[in-house]
Amino acid sequence: MSGNTSRDSEGWRELNRASWDERVGIHLKAPGYDLAPLRAGRGQLNAVEEAELGSVDGLRVLHLQCHFGADTLALAQRGASVVGLDFSPAAITAANALARELGLADRARFVCADLYDAPQAIAEPAAFDLVYVSWGATCWLPDIRRWAEIVAQFLKPGGRLYYADAHPTAYIFDDFAPEPDGRPGWFSPYLERQPLKYTDPNDYADPTARLENATNVGWLHPLSDIVTGLIDAGLSLDWLHEHASLPWRMFKVLEKRDDGDWHWPDRPWLPLAVSLKATRRR
Ligand SMILES: C[S@@+](CC[C@H](N)C(=O)[O-])C[C@H]1O[C@@H](n2cnc3c(N)ncnc32)[C@H](O)[C@@H]1O
C-alpha cells in the first residue's frame, strides 16, 4: 500500500466500483488469473478451497462478490447450478460472456448488484445449498453483521456457508515500512473498526498494471466480528482454519510454491488466510 490514507469512507461505493470495473480488463489477461484450465473444462479453485470445499455436484450455489465469474463457472463445471453476484457492471458483462463462451449459460446466472441489495436483486430467500465467498471479499463491506444476515437469508435450513479470505490480522501489516528482515511492518490497528481510504495504483494479479482508479475504501473486520455475526444471524460454526498462505502476493517477502499459493519464505510467521464452514440452523 502506498500514498495517502485517511479514515473517511465518503464515496466508498463509487470509488471501489470504479476500481473494480477497471481491474476486470486487467484481470482477464493477468498472470494471476490463468483461465486456461477453465477454458479446458477443468476450472481450478485455489489450494485452500480445493482441499476443503468438497463436492458441489447438484447443489444450488450463490457466489457473492463473484468478480468476472471464474470461480463461479468452475463450480458450474463441477455440476453446481450457480448464481454469481457482483456490483461491477464490467465484471458481470465479462462473466456472462465467459459463461456463453464455455457453454455454461444454462447453469450460471450473473446478477449485477451491490451486496447489500442482494435480497432484492435475487429475491430467492432460503433457496441455496451453499453460499460461497472467497478471497478479497468482506474487506470491501462496511457492515459485517448485515453481510452475515444476508448470507443466512439465502441459505436453506441446513445449507452452508463456505468462506475463505485473507486473515484480518494480516491486514494490520503492510510493506510500506518493512522490517529489516523483509517482513512487513506495522500499518493499521486491528480493533478500531474504522474505514481505511487509501491510494494504491498496483494490482494484486498483474504486477505491471497501474490503475487510474487507484483510491479504494476498505474495512478490517476482526475475526470475532465475522464469526459472531454469522452465529447471531442463525448459523452454527462447523470449523474454522487459519492458513500461513494465500492466493496472492499480499507481502513482497512471500514466495510462490507449487500449490500456487504465496507462503512465508521460512517459518509460518503470521496467519495469512482464514477459512470456515458454517451451517444455517433449522
Ligand atoms: C477480490 S474480488 C473477488 C475475487 C474473487 N474471489 C476472485 O478471485 O475472482 C472482490 C470483488 O468484490 C466486488 N465487490 C466489492 N464491493 C462490493 C459490493 N459492495 N457489492 C458487491 N460486490 C462488491 C468487486 O467488484 C470484486 O469483483
The identity of residue 210, as a single letter, is R
**What's this model's pTM, rounded to 2 decimal places?**
0.97
Q: How many domains does the chain have?
A: 1
State the residue for C-alpha cell 448488484: 113
Residue 186 has pLDDT above 80, yes or no: no
For ligand 1, the distance from its centroid to the CA atom of residue 117, given in whole angstroms, is 14
Q: Are 73 and 104 in contact (CB under 8 A)?
A: yes
Whose CA is closest to atom 8 on ligand 1? Answer: 135
Residue 271 domain boundaries: 2-280
Q: Which amino acid is at 127?
A: A
- Range picked from 2-11, 45-54, 266-275 for highest mean pLDDT: 45-54
pLDDT at 212: 98
For residue 54, the CA-to-ligand 1 centroid distance in Å is: 23
CATH code for the domain of 19: 3.40.50.150
* 64 C-alpha to ligand 1 centroid (Å): 8
Pocket test for ligand 1, best of 87, 132, 134, 144 (most atoms within 8 A of CB): 87
Q: How confident is residue 49, by pLDDT bands cut at 50, 70 and 90?
A: very high
Alpha helices, DSSP H, located in 10-139:
12-27, 36-39, 47-52, 70-77, 89-101, 118-122
Contacts of 108 (CB under 8 A, 6+ apart): 69, 72, 73, 76, 82, 83, 84, 95, 99
Alpha carbon nearest to ligand 1 atom 16, residue = 140
Share of the chain above pLDDT 70, in %: 99
Assigned C-alpha cell, 181: 528482515
pLDDT digits (tens, 9 = 90+) for 246-269: 999 999 999 999 999 999 999 898
Neighbours of 126 (CB within 10 A): 12
Q: What is the pLDDT of residues 91-150, one digit of tens each?
A: 999 999 999 999 999 999 999 999 999 999 999 999 999 999 999 999 999 999 999 999
Q: State mean pLDDT over 232-245.
A: 98
pLDDT surpassing 80 at residue 2: no
Q: CB of 27 closer than 6 A to ligand 1? A: no
* Closest by CA position to 183, among listed 247, 250, 248: 250
Ligand 1: does its nearest atom lie under 6 Å from the Cβ of 87? Answer: yes
| Amino acid type, 277 | K
Helix (H, G, I), strand (E, B) or coil at 86: strand
Cβ atoms of residues 130 and 159 within 8 Å: yes
Is 88 near ligand 1, meaning CB less than 6 Å away? yes
